[in-house]
């Protein structure tokens, strides 16, 4: 079985992000970039399937030369091959990214394509379904359980009041949600191997983004907290404020 995992480099969740002087970008100096956390669930799923059913895993990333580091991190986890699609800057438009990825993915044979349900930098959940449309294969999103057998994939995802179960034939795209698994830590041997891992470069035609970042701004500061009293005696006033001022009840 051939499995491809699409990954993206994103700022570390613990990084302090500062808006640049142009008010349209983030200052990237002194910021550590890591594999998108949801993509780590996809990587772990690919490795478990390959270990159980046999197969080959490939990580594909759209990014600058800096993205080689997250590809090496994927190799350190156990991915066998790494492919980077070079761009000057990651597009803000999910459709532009999907079209560039699809152009390269069409040249790569795969049975299963995995990726995180979204990236934590832009919060878009559109990439998986867009790739499904562009590649002409089914896409099942938000997977919290994934099984592959007899040329079909079975996926569970949380639904209101229960669990929804989906089935589709391979080849198929699945986007990973938190709870699908617990991503492994790279082994020391894996880290050593990743240092010398070959990263294949596959170019894609540039696609103009339909989205323009007009400006960025920090969220407004929260107002000072109000103490309405202590103990049971404060409850009536708290309820009044929630109803009349906050309009929360």
Write out the chain's pLDDT in tens, 249 residues.
999 999 999 999 888 888 888 988 888 888 889 999 999 999 999 999 999 988 999 999 999 999 999 999 999 999 999 999 999 888 888 999 999 999 999 999 999 999 999 998 888 899 999 999 999 999 999 999 999 999 999 999 998 889 999 999 999 999 999 999 999 999 899 999 999 999 999 999 988 888 888 898 888 888 788 888 888 888 999 999 899 988 888
Cα gap 113→146, rounded to integer Å: 12
Domain boundaries along the sequence of the chain: 2-201
- Cβ(110)–Cβ(89) under 8 Å? no
Q: For the domain bounded by 2-201, which CATH number is listed? A: 3.40.50.620
d(CA 62, CA 119): 13
CB 164 within 8 A of CB 156: yes
């Amino acid at each position: 079985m051939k499995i491809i995992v699409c990954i993206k480099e994103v700022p570390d969740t613990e990084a302090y992000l500062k808006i640049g002087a142009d008010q349209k970008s983030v200052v990237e100096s002194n910021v550590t970039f890591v594999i998108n956390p949801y993509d780590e669930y996809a990587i772990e799923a690919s490795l478990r399937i390959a270990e159980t059913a046999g197969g080959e895993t490939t990580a594909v990333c759209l990014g600058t030369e800096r993205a080689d580091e997250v590809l090496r991190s994927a190799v350190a986890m156990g991915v066998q091959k790494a492919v980077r699609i070079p761009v000057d800057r990651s597009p803000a438009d999910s459709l532009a990214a999907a079209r560039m990825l699809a152009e390269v993915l069409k040249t790569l044979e795969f049975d299963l394509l995995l990726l995180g349900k979204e990236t934590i930098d832009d919060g878009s959940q559109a990439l998986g379904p867009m790739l499904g449309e562009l590649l002409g294969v089914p896409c099942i999103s938000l997977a919290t359980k994934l099984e592959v057998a007899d040329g079909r994939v079975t996926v569970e995802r949380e639904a209101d009041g229960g669990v929804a179960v989906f089935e589709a034939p391979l080849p198929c795209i699945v986007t990973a949600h938190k709870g699908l698994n617990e991503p492994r830590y790279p082994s020391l041997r894996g880290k050593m191997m990743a240092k010398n891992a070959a990263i294949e470069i596959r170019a894609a035609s540039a696609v103009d983004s339909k989205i323009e970042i007009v400006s960025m701004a920090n969220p407004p500061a929260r107002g000072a907290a109000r103490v309405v009293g202590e103990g049971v005696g404060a409850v009536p006033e708290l309820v009044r404020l929630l109803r009349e001022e906050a309009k929360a009840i």
